[in-house]
Amino acid sequence: MDGDRFGLWRARLLVVGVLVALLLSTSPALGQETGEAEPIPTNPTPGAIALTFDDGPFEEWTSVILEILARYDVKATFFISAYRLAIRAEIFEIVEEIVAAGHSVQSHGYGHIWLPARARDKIREELQMSIDLIVAAGAPRPTCFRPPYGGTNDVVVSVAEELGLEVVLWTVDSADTVLQQSTGVIRWLLAHAGAGDIVLMHDQWAPVHRTALPVVIESLLEQGVEFESICAPALEKVTFAPSGFPRLLPL
């Protein structure tokens, strides 16, 4: 990337941040408290399970997961790695599809890095950039943050809280990144996942979930388990057109 192109990219990202800051500071519906805030549901309700997907969106794989979820009318939660939104502006459209389908869009940070080893200012930068890009893509402002690798400490939690984010991990790992095949994932989840759990999955392992996810969903539904998203924001989605935000140049 040459210097001019990098400078333009950073300038557009800065504009996004300024626009979001102005919006939050001038709109009572978004930036000011009008009463006691509703609690953020960071756990599924009794009898329900929460499927969560990290690291996306991916043009070639997230759509596979969305199709399966739509087939069963299951709502899930997507923890977005915001650097992916800066790679190509077209990926913004996948976030819009996730939101339009009624799923929850939350933060997985900007870069996929181990935050406990970083300084407070760097942690704040990572989280703020993720918020700005997710909102720029047309999603509601995130209310939850899942640290990459589950890496957290008191500083990470404190910075997240300052930015209005609650740190959310998981109770069951699908082991998709380890097993890397559908049979193993099916056996593991049916043996360990049930009502009350938050299940960790990854968009990029959609080739595994193409087979595993329908089996797991059908099996849990037969057991009477319901599916819910978590971290749905208390605030309504911004209603102006996403095109009102400047798009980022591809890297």
| Lowest model confidence (mean pLDDT) among 6-10, 13-17, 186-190, 247-251 | 247-251
What is the predicted pLDDT for the residue at 232?
A: 82
The model's confidence at residue 208, banded by pLDDT at 50, 70 and 90, is very high
Q: Which residues are paired to 35 by β-bridges?
A: none
Q: What is the mean pLDDT of residues 158-187?
A: 96
> Contact at 8 Å (CB) between 52 and 170?
yes
> Contact at 8 Å (CB) between 229 and 77?
yes
Q: What is the mean pLDDT of residues 102-116?
A: 97
Q: Which DSSP symbol is given to 201?
A: E
> Contact at 8 Å (CB) between 214 and 190?
no
d(CA 141, CA 129): 12
Q: Which residues are paired to 173 by β-bridges?
A: 200
Q: What is the mean pLDDT of residues 110-124?
A: 97
Q: What is the mean pLDDT of residues 74-97?
A: 93
**Helix spans in the chain (H):** 3-26, 28-31, 62-71, 83-87, 92-100, 120-136, 154-162, 176-179, 182-192, 206-222
Q: Which residue has the higher pLDDT, 233 or 33?
A: 233
pLDDT surpasses 90 at 209: yes
What is the predicted pLDDT for the residue at 89?
A: 80
Q: What is the mean pLDDT of residues 133-158?
A: 97
| Average of per-residue pLDDT values in the chain | 83
Greatest Cα pair distance, the chain, in angstroms, is 58
What is the predicted pLDDT for the residue at 233?
A: 55
pLDDT surpasses 80 at 8: no
> Contact at 8 Å (CB) between 73 and 198?
no
- Of 9, 19, 10, 14, the closest CA to residue 238 belongs to 19
Angle CA 41–229–176, to nearest 5: 120
| Lowest model confidence (mean pLDDT) among 17-21, 172-176, 212-216, 221-225 | 17-21
Q: What predicted TM-score, i.e. pTM, was given to this entire model? A: 0.80
12-60 tens-digit pLDDT: 544 445 344 434 443 333 333 444 556 788 999 999 999 999 999 998 8
What is the predicted pLDDT for the residue at 151?
A: 97
